[in-house]
Amino acid sequence: LHQPSAPPGKVPAVAWSCRQLRHMQPLLQRFCRSSIRLPSVAQRAFSAVPDLARHAHSEAVQPYRFLAAGKVIPKHADAEGEDAFVICSMQRALAVADGVGSWVEYNINAGLYSRKLLAQVCNQLETVGQQPFVSAMDLLRAAHRETNTLGSSTVVISVLNREALDVVYVGDSALFVYHGSKLKLRTKEQLHEFNYPYQLGGPNCKADSPEEAEQLSIPVKAYDVVMLASDGVLDNLFQEEIDEIMTRDLNFALSGDPDSVMDYCTDTANAIAETAKERSESKSAITPYSESFKQQYGHAAVGGKLDDITCLVGVVCPEHLFDNPAIS
């Protein structure tokens, strides 16, 4: 991990060095469907609080939070799907997980592990809600340790920590950061081989370890845009197509008006997910997946890749925007 030095007073670019709000309000949690409610965590203490908060500094102040919205489209309309997303702990953390579909061959719900894993991410973050500093990597370790369900999943987690976005990911779910109309960063997928991503798993599952996760710390500014997506988006849309949708209504994201920012997040997440869904059902389109297939096997493949599709869009917003009671 590259760890460049930081000027005095700035957050160091180290993936396990972040800061958190001094005072947290109750957990805001959302699964892939608004009707799903995660269980309360009030009855469960988390034994690793010192690990998650070991770099705490009481003088830290959190200047930013996310306004965010997400969209999930299962590959089968009558199914719950295998993807999940969360917006948790005072809109400070965003995460996406993509359950590995091959578990259905063993009569195991392939989406259960991804949803429980993200439930634990939010649970652990709420437990250290009074601490000013938390590590995304420690969240991942703790969530993995507490998820005792058969299955496996890719995952990407991002946490706002002062002027830095702390990111950890396993597999081929991805995160993008935009500064204005410029793509600042896109994470690089982790694959064992073609169509076989790194993945975390439950007890006795053949899976990867959190220690194999990639870690990043990315400087962010007010009104930077963050997008998280499962491979259902990435296999069906090229980068330039994603960029066009992400920047199409950027003036709303930059407006400083909470309602306009939320409209941008909602409309953009919907547009990316729906465009990817349409492409996934095409029998003739050239897609990133079809091009990777041709590169791997040496013969042409056309058409989209039918899969669950998840897109989560967040705008880094100054804390004063949340003084609006409607936003709270």
At residue 69, the pLDDT reads: 98
Torsion sign (Cα): 45, 40, 270, 320? negative
Q: How far apart are the first and last CA of the chain?
A: 37
> Structure tokens of 205?
């599952």
Task: Return the minimum-mean-pLDDT range out of 44-53, 178-187, 241-250.
Answer: 44-53
Task: Say if residue 140's pLDDT is above 60.
Answer: yes
The proportion of the chain whose per-residue pLDDT surpasses 70, expressed as a percent, equals 79
* % of the chain at pLDDT higher than 90: 66
Longest dimension (CA), the chain: 59
Strand order in the sheet with 182-186: 64-73, 309-318, 225-229, 174-179, 182-186
Q: What is the pLDDT of residue 130?
A: 59
Closest CA to 30 of 94, 78, 106: 94
Read off the pLDDT of each residue in 223-251 and give the average, rounded to a whole number.
Answer: 97
Contact between residue 191 and residue 289 where contact means Cβ atoms under 8 Å apart: no
pLDDT at 5 over 50: no
Question: Positive or negative, the Cα torsion across 257, 263, 266, 271?
Answer: negative
Q: Cβ–Cβ contacts within 10 Å for residue 250, how many? A: 16
Crossing angle of helices 239-248 and 258-280, rounded to 10°: 150
Q: Could you give the CA distance from residue 13 to residue 63 in angstroms, rounded to a whole number?
A: 17
Contact assessment for residue 287 and residue 305, using Cβ atoms and an 8 Å cutoff: yes
Which of helix, strand or coil describes residue 115?
A: helix
- The alpha-carbon radius of gyration of the chain (Å, integer) is 19
Sign of CA dihedral 53, 211, 203, 147: positive
167's CB contacts (< 8 A; 6+ apart) are: 15, 136, 156, 157, 158, 159, 175, 187, 215, 216, 217, 218
Q: Tell me: the pLDDT tens digits for 290-320?
A: 999 999 999 878 899 999 999 999 999 998 8
Model confidence at 52: pLDDT above 60: no
**Distance in angstroms (rounded) separating the CA atoms of residues 142 and 157:** 13
d(CA 265, CA 225): 9
Q: How far apart are CA 189 and CA 170, in angstroms?
A: 8
Cα–Cα distance for residue pair 136/231, rounded to 1 Å: 21
The whole-angstrom separation of Cα 298 and Cα 291 is 10
